[in-house]
Structure 1
Amino acid sequence: MNDIESVGYRHVPDAEGGAAGRTWWDANAGEYLDEHGAFLGDAGFRWGPEGLTEAEAGLLGDVTGRRVLEVGAGAAQCSRWLAGRGAVVVATDVSHGMLRRGAPLDAATGVPVPVVQADARALPFADASFDVVFTSFGAIPFVPDAVRVHAEAARVLRPGGRWVFSVTHPLRWAFPDDPTRHGLTATRSYFDRRPYVEQAGGRVVYAEYHRTVGDHVRDVAAAGLHLLDVVEPEWPAWNDQVWGGWGPERGAYLPGTAIYVTVKPL
């Protein structure tokens, strides 16, 4: 990949920003998993850098015998954990590089999980074919039209099914990407929705999109889903990991993750 020529918050064509994620994750899958794979894999299913696990939170409910879909699955650590607890799981991601890196782990754990390369905005599954759909930091931050992700999750869910997603806490957008106390001073407007963009060779190679708390709620409502809860994990004393803008020093003061729990009406 070309060296990064410019970074910043700027408007870019939706088609360019929305397509950048696939190439970026393909190119960076190995480095990302080398750095974070152990943390993500040791508990099997974490909702974010704070380390909250699904075993602790129980946000998906009892998954035994239920059909579960993970979108933005990366190397599918969460899906394998669920399969080990009796769920019938399919993992999807737009990046073949991420899914491919997860394949050897399936053999190592003895828990095979079907994987499908797919854009979360156009899922290749029938209506009402899953009991639960979820993503842990997948898909939503990397597309300009997240409402389509919610609409697809709602479409493939059966009535009464849950769609649960975690994202960077929207409050973080106003603060620099600094995990220390220096990152406790707001430097930009929370309401500035221009994406963070990296460009190389005159093209967008990475784009990350911001939505306010209200934006997320409106997107969920537009998909016909009902919001049940918003979980904001606190930074636990045991976690001394620094991960990008996340870490124990700033985590003691500011939330880093928001988890939205929604349901499709009966």
Structure 2
Amino acid sequence: MSEDRAAEIAENRRLWAIVNERWTDAAAEGMWRRAEMAWGLFTVPEHQLGVLGDVRGLDVLDLACGTGYVAAWLARAGARPVALDFSGEQLATARHLQTRLGPDFPLVQGDAERVPLAGGQFDLVVSEHGAAAWCDPERWLPEVARLLRPGGRLVFLTNSNLSTLCVPAEGGVAQDRLLRGQREVHRVQWPGGGFEFHPSHGEWIRQLRRSGFVVEAMHELYAPAAGLDHPFYEIVSPEWATAWPAEELWVATLEPQR
């Protein structure tokens, strides 16, 4: 890993320690207590999208898991999840909620670009607003391919490329016009110091194919007509997100080796 990339990861880790302080116990607990998997800023129920299918008995990695609520949902649905994140503070919150609420599953501290787990042990990798934005796709997608069994699936959620193009350079909420060039947002440093990746659709497909994946679907997620602001992450307003997609939910399958 280059010194520049190591510095970016260290900066992101610092920012997520701050985020964890703001992500109150009540907010994190509310996510853990949800009865059903839901996706994104506007909590679109999994049963409306059906991207995961039946996860009972599957070995699942929740990559860049944050406070671990997705892994908790998967465990209650009958999966065998492992939750991984590079933030010790986020994992501490996850461990606290796991002790209080259950269920029990492994929590691992590690970088999604260099996962400290053996390959070929998962049927499904899920990342909900985690690896896709904060990790270099040239690094984390090959890692997922290594970790999956042949025919395994990757499901990841990230900000829409369009929303990133519409956010002012000084930060804030997406506007109703393009404010950045397409190539500018592949790698973005926000005013607060964080580094993110927002490839174009063509680049996502190229990187997924390069790592051996076949793209099965890409769902564009909008806010409901009566949508409310997300309590933490505000890159789009509900009004913007009813007109344009705020998030993209990608589904891909790892081709069996020939």
The TM-score, its normalising length taken from structure 1, stands at: 0.84
Deviation, structure 1 residue 96: 0.7
Where does 1:217-236 land on structure 2 (aligned, <5 Å)?
Answer: 217-236=205-224
Bigger relative CO (Cα 8 Å, ≥ 6 apart): 1
Residues 1:65 and 2:57 aligned together: yes
The worse-fitting range, judged by mean Cα deviation, of 35-44 and 212-221 is 35-44
In structure 2, the CA distance between the partners of 1:86 and 1:19, relative to structure 1 (3 Å rule), is same
By how many angstroms is 1:30 displaced? 2.2
Q: Which residue of 2 aligns with 1:196?
A: 189
**Aligned residue for 1:18?**
9
Encode CA deviations 1:72-114: one digit per residue, 9 max, x unaligned: 0001001001101111110000101101111121133231121
Cα distance in 2, alignment partners of residues 35 and 232 from structure 1: 29
Q: Residue 241 of structure 2 corresponds to which residue in structure 1? A: 251
Deviation at 1:208, TM superposition (A): 2.0
Conserved? CA contact 2:74–2:81, under 8 Å: yes
Alpha-carbon offset, residue 34 of structure 1: 5.6
Letter in 2 for 1:119: D
3-state SS of the aligned residue for 2:243?
coil
1:81 aligns with: 73
In structure 2, relative to structure 1, the CA distance for the partners of 1:111 and 1:32 (3 Å cut) is same
Instruction: Find the aligned partners of 1:110 and 1:192 in 2 and give their Cα distance.
Output: 42
Instruction: Give the 3-state SS of the residue equivalent to 2:212 in structure 1.
Output: coil
Whether the 8 Å contact between 1:120 and 1:139 is mirrored in structure 2 is yes
Within 5 Å, give how 1:125-204 maps onto structure 2: 125-143=117-135, 145-176=136-167, 178-179=172-173, 183-193=175-185, 194-198=187-191
| 2:224 matches 1:212 | no
Equivalent residues of 1:196, 1:207 under 8 A apart: yes
One-letter amino acid matched to 2:70 = C
Question: Deviation above 6 Å: which 4+ runs of structure 1?
Answer: none
Distance 2:117 2:101 in 1: 27
Q: How many residues align?
A: 247
Residue equivalent to 1:202:
none
CA apart distance, 1:18? 3.0
Q: For residues 241 and 28 of structure 1, what CA distance do their matches in structure 2 show? A: 17
CA gap of 1:245–1:160, structure 2 versus 1, over 3 A, is same
Q: Cα RMSD between the aligned structures?
A: 2.2
Aligned mates of 1:261, 1:33 — CA distance in 2: 31
| Identity across the alignment (%) | 28
Q: Give the TM-score normalised by the residue count of structure 2.
A: 0.87
Structure-1 separation of matches of 2:49 and 2:30: 17
